[in-house]
Amino acid sequence: MATRKDLLKAHTFTAQRLVSALVDRDPDNPQPPLRRVGTGMFIGVMLGILVLAGFGVVGLIKPGSSKNWKNDNTIVVSSDSGEVLVYLGGKLYPAYNITSAKLASGGGDVKSVKSSSLRDFPRERTIGIKQAPTQLPERSALVSYPIRVCSVTAPAGTSTGSGTQARATTLELGQGEVPAASTAFVARADGSNGKEYLIADGTAYEMPNHAVAIQLGFGEQAVRPGNAFLGALPKGPPLNPIDIAGEGERSQRPVGGVDPTVGTLMHVEGPSATTWYVLLSDGLSEISPLEAAVLTATNGKKSQPIKAAEANEARNTRVRYAGRQGMPAQLPQRSQIPGIETASVCASWPAAGQSPRIAFGAPTPVVDRRSADPALADTVVQPSLRGALVRHDGSVGPADPGTLIVGGLRYGIADNDSKNALGYGEVTPEPIPAQVLRLIPEGLPAGQSLSVSAAQQQS
């Protein structure tokens, strides 16, 4: 006896034969008569979705037919010619550059529109700042450190007043190798005064005469790196002899067996270092090794060796340290560098707040021509499509909107509203040494800055 399942299969089979006979005139066709219709409908729907998605992608990539650009404070860029315009107060203003457009619109949205869509819309007079940057780096492309200032041989045909080969200065931001240690050397400034400096730990210490360099073991070495390079280095206290009150008088607390005259030099040889002292009226006060060498070089003072116990017994309890602050902890050592007088010399700042490190002979950017202003760098180099937002390290911190450096030029930003309009509202300017910032040429005429009000002015 047939089950219900068998009866259902028989009914379905009979119904399919009847439909096939009616639609296809073939009751024995094993395929359902409407299967191809369903498959065709599914394929058609999927093709339609793909076509619509394609139009959407094209619209995102090339929205040239956009008609929603007539919104106030909108930056309009012609997709055909690259012309930059700003829609303000129902009027369309050509702008000198994208920076001016950003400022004038307060950081408005950018719309790419075909020239044909703009052809019949009247244009006003051009607005903006002519010398503003023609491109603005993305926030993620702002990088300041490492900073490297180098002195290199200038292009042929230039010389100093003394007839020697002139030096050129290069400045790199966001690139350049940082050495692991710093090299010490003696530098001589250009010009009639010919000041000499001891460069130690990346800091320049002015010397009273070359006798100090000889006393320190540098001999007749005197590199001329150029005044712009020297001006970029941090300055330490001058290497003049320390002031000694009552010098030449008899000390009230002398060391047995040693000259009791105030100003006498003494030292204690330790297992790892030597400690230097000068005798004051109240006893011994410590000074740096460099200051001891300066006293020997300038006043002919010879240091007397004493024992540690004697130094402790005669120690000045009122003035324990008589030296100046900011002196190197150790005596700088001369490096044997072949051709040091003509080799490139670079000062590299690894990060904000750190002292530069000096190295000789490193590869440097090519200098094609000298700057007309000797106080400026001859070449300023930044990585491609990069910029920097900085402030000098003596400014007021977060209240300073900063200085934009792009294309080797610096542009002061007037206020935080202008900074926001440029798209850098959330970026904190990095502090860099003021003397390094001054090496970078100004991108705008004196007294001008990147500001919203200046960008909205018509020419």
Range of the domain at 97: 62-127+452-459
Higher pLDDT residue, 252 or 300? 252
Q: Is residue 43 part of a domain?
A: yes
pTM: 0.79
298 found inside a domain: no
> Distance (Å, rounded) from C-alpha 143 to C-alpha 134?
19
Residues 74 and 118 in one domain: yes
**Residues 397-428: tens digit of each pLDDT:** 667 899 999 999 999 999 999 999 999 999 99
User: In this structure, is residue 323 part of a structural domain?
Assistant: no
Query: 105-119, 152-166, 251-265, 318-332 — which one is most confidently predicted on average?
Result: 251-265
Q: Which of 230, 205, 172, 199 is nearest to 374 (CA)?
A: 230
* CATH code of the domain in which 89 resides: 3.30.2390.20
Same domain for 80 and 45: no
| Same structural domain, 37 and 73 | no
Q: How far apart are CA 287 and CA 38, in angstroms?
A: 98
Q: What is the pLDDT of residue 64?
A: 46
Higher pLDDT, 39 or 155: 155
User: Among residues 61, 87, 103, which one ends one of the domains?
Assistant: 61
Task: Calculate ∠ Cα 161-164-168, nearest 5°.
Answer: 85
In tens, the pLDDT along 312-353 reads 999 998 888 888 888 887 889 888 888 888 899 999 999 999
Q: Is 78 within the bounds of a domain? A: yes
In the numeric block, which tokens belong to residue 95? 């702008």
Least confident segment among 10-14, 61-65, 145-149, 178-182: 61-65
Chosen domain end from 28, 43, 61: 61
Of 44, 61, 78, which marks where a domain is finished?
A: 61
Q: Is the pLDDT of residue 163 over 60?
A: no
- If asked whether residues 100 and 49 sit together in one domain, one would say no
In a domain, 412, yes or no: no
Poorest-pLDDT segment among 53-62, 153-162, 274-283, 396-405? 53-62
Structural domain count, the chain:
2
Q: What share of the chain is helix, strand, coil (3-state, %, to 5)?
A: 25, 25, 50
> Which amino acid, one-letter code, is at 457?
Q
Q: Is the peptide bond before 146 cis (omega within 30 degrees of 0)?
A: yes
Question: Are residues 18 and 57 both part of a single domain?
Answer: yes
* Domain-embedded: residue 160: no
Domain assignment present for 303: no
Judge whether 442 lies within some domain.
no
